[in-house]
Amino acid sequence: MGIFNRKQKRAGQALSVLPRHIAIIMDGNGRWARKRSLPRTAGHSVGAETFRRIASYCRKLGVEYLTVYAFSTENWKRSKEEVSSIMSLLRRYLMEAIDSMEREQVRIKILGDTSVLDEDLRELIDRTEAISGTIHTKTQANLCINYGGRAEIIHAVKAWMGDKGAPELTEETLANYLYTAGMPDPDLVIRPSGEIRISNFLLWQSAYSEFYFTDTLWPDFDERELDRALEAYARRDRRFGGVKG
**For binding to ligand FPP (CB under 6 A), which residues are involved?**
26-31, 44, 47-48, 51, 68, 70, 75, 86, 89-90, 93, 143, 193
Q: H/E/C letters for each residue in the chain? A: CCHHHHHHHHCCCCCCCCCCEEEEECCCHHHHHHHCCCCHHHHHHHHHHHHHHHHHHHHHHCCCEEEEEEEECCHHHCCHHHHHHHHHHHHHHHHHHHHHHHHHCCEEEEECCHHHCCHHHHHHHHHHHHHHCCCCCCCEEEEEEEECHHHHHHHHHHHHHHCCCCCCCCHHHHHCCCCCCCCCCCCEEEECCCCCCCCCCCCCCCCCCEEEECCCCHHHCCHHHHHHHHHHHHHCCCCCCCCCC
Q: Give the nearer residue to ligand FPP in terms of CB position, either 77 or 164.
A: 77
Residue 7 vs 53, nearer CB to ligand FPP? 53
Closest distance between ligand FPP and the C-beta of residue 230, in Å?
21
Which residue number, 24 or 156, has a Cβ lying nearer to ligand FPP?
A: 24
Residue closer to ligand FPP, measured from CB, 94 or 183: 94
Q: What amino acid positions are annotated as catalytic residues?
A: 27, 75
- Least distance (Å) between residue 85 CB and ligand FPP: 9
- CB 90 to ligand FPP: min, Å: 5
Identify the bridge partners of residue 67 per DSSP, sorted by sequence position.
Answer: 23, 142
Least Å distance, CB 65 to ligand FPP, is 15
β-pair type (107-111, 65-72): unpaired
Q: How far is the CB of 122 from ligand FPP (least distance, A)?
A: 16
Q: Which is nearer to ligand FPP, 8 or 72 (CB)?
A: 72
